[in-house]
Amino acid sequence: MRRLALIDCNNFYVSCEQAFNPALRNRPVVVLSNNDGCVVSRSAEAKQAGIPMGIPYFQVRKQLASIDGAVLSSNYVLYADMSRRAMRLIAEQFPEQEIYSIDECFVDLSGLSADQALIQAFKLKQHLMQCLSLPVSVGIGSTKTLAKLAASLAKRPGATGVANFSNPMSPERLAEMRQQPVGEIWGIGRRTTQSLEAANVLTVGDLLDKPVSWIRKRYSITLLRTVEELRGQDQLGLQAAAAPRQQIIASRSFGHPVYAKSELGEALATFVARAAERLRADHSLASIMQIYYNAKDPAADGDPCADAIILNLPHATDDTRLLIRQALRGLDEIYQPGLKYKKAGVVLGGIRSADIRQPGLTGLYPEAIAPSPIMKLMDHVNQRYGRDTVRIASMGVDAKAGWHMSCSRRSRRYTTALEELPVLSTQGIS
C-alpha cells in the first residue's frame, strides 16, 4: 500500500535561532525578511499574541516590545546549513526522499504498516530534536496532498505532532479531514479558494462531494488531480531528484540607497557570483543573462524607474569570471547617473546540462571546452572556510558598503563561520 509522509520543521527560521539560543525559547520571537522589512517566521508564542505573518515590522514594533518579544534579522546561511543537516538525517532513516522546500520533505513509507509508520514518525521527531534541537511535524497519507493536509493538523495546539491520513483511515480522522477549510488544501491558491467558496464549497468534504463532471467543467486539470489525491489516488508521485531549474535569480533590495556606479557594480557582481554558485551546484550552464535595477529619480520628485538588459553570452558557461564580465558590460549600457538605486538583480537563463559544452565556431573561448579548475577550487575553499573566503575582485571587500542588506539583528552563523563560534573561557562565554 502506498504510504507517504511529509516532514515539516515547525517555525523553521525561529526554531533554528532557538536551537543555538535557549533564552529565546518560550518567548514571542519573530524573524524579519531582507533589510528587516516584514515578519517571515514566528514562534508559537508570537502567533498566540496575534502577530500576523508578512506584516511590516514597524507596524508591530510596539506590540512586540510590550510582550517582551525578540526580533531577529534573517540568518539565511545558518538556516540553509541547518536544512542540509536535517535533510541528511532524514535521508539516513528514509532513503526515498523528495526535498520540497528548505524546511519540508516527502519520504516514502510504503514498506511499513500503519502502526510501524507511526512509530517511525515519532522516532524521527525525537531524533531531529536530539541531534539538531529542531521540532518537526509529520503528516502521513496515501498521497502527497493527504500527507500535506495531515501535517497541517499535526501542528495544531495540543496535537502530538504526528497525524495519519493514510488508508485505512479511522472514522474520526476521516471526519476531521472533511471538516478542514478548502483553503487549507495544498495546491489550491487564493483565487481558486475564492471561486470555490462562492460556489458554497467551503470544506474538504464539500469538495469531495462534488461530482467529477462539475469540477472538470469549471476548473483546470490541476484541481481535478488534487481531488483525486484527496480520495487516495496517487497522482503526483515521489520525485527523488529535483527537476532542473529553468532559470536562476539572484537579487536583493539594498540596505541603503546606492548612487555610485562602482557600488552598483559591486552589488551586481556579487549577485552574479551567487547565481553562478547555484549554476555549478546544479551541474548546469547558462547561455542568457538578464540584469536589471529598480530606482527612483530625484529629479522627477522621486518617481520610480527601472531598466533591464538581456545579454546573449558568447557561449554557455558556469564561470563566475565570465558572467561578471558580461554583467558589468551590460551595466555600462543601462546605468544612469543621478538615480537613487534601490534594488538590482540578475537572471540566468538558457540553462542546459554541463555535460554538453560547445565552444563557439571562432574558437575564441577555449575555456568553454572543459570545466574551470579555478572555479572548482574556489567552490571547494568557500564551502570549507566560508562564503567569499575567495572572491572575484569586482565583488568588493567592504562589508559595510551601502548596498549590503541591512541585518543589524542577525545572530551568529554558528555552523559556517569559525570566527563567530562562541568562545568559552574563564571569563565566561563570548
CB 42 within 8 A of CB 29: yes
State the pLDDT at residue 359: 63
Q: Enumerate residues 6+ apart whose C-beta is below 8 A from 399.
A: none
CB 32 within 8 A of CB 409: yes
State the pLDDT at residue 204: 92
Domains plus CATH for the chain? 4-9+84-230 (3.30.70.270), 248-395 (3.30.1490.100)
Q: Please state whether the predicted TM-score (pTM) of the whole model is above 0.85.
A: no
State the pLDDT at residue 101: 92
- Rounded to 5 degrees, φ, ψ at 403 are -80, -15
Q: Enumerate residues 6+ apart whose C-beta is below 8 A from 134.
A: 9, 10, 12, 15, 16, 19, 82, 86, 128
Q: Exposed/middle/buried for 355, CB within 10 Å: 0-12, 13-18, 19+?
A: exposed
Report the C-alpha gap between 283 and 274 in whole angstroms: 15
- Write the pLDDT tens digit of every residue in 339-388: 999 999 999 999 998 887 766 565 555 555 567 889 999 999 988 887 88
Q: Exposed/middle/buried for 238, CB within 10 Å: 0-12, 13-18, 19+?
A: middle
State the pLDDT at residue 157: 84
State the pLDDT at residue 104: 96
Could you state, in chain order, the average pLDDT of each consecutive group of 10 residues for the chain (430 residues)?
Answer: 92 96 94 92 95 94 95 93 96 93 94 90 96 96 93 89 82 86 90 93 92 90 92 83 82 89 94 95 93 92 91 91 95 94 95 78 57 89 85 87 80 82 70
State the pLDDT at residue 139: 95
- Write the pLDDT tens digit of every residue in 2-19: 899 999 999 999 999 999
CB 161 within 8 A of CB 125: yes
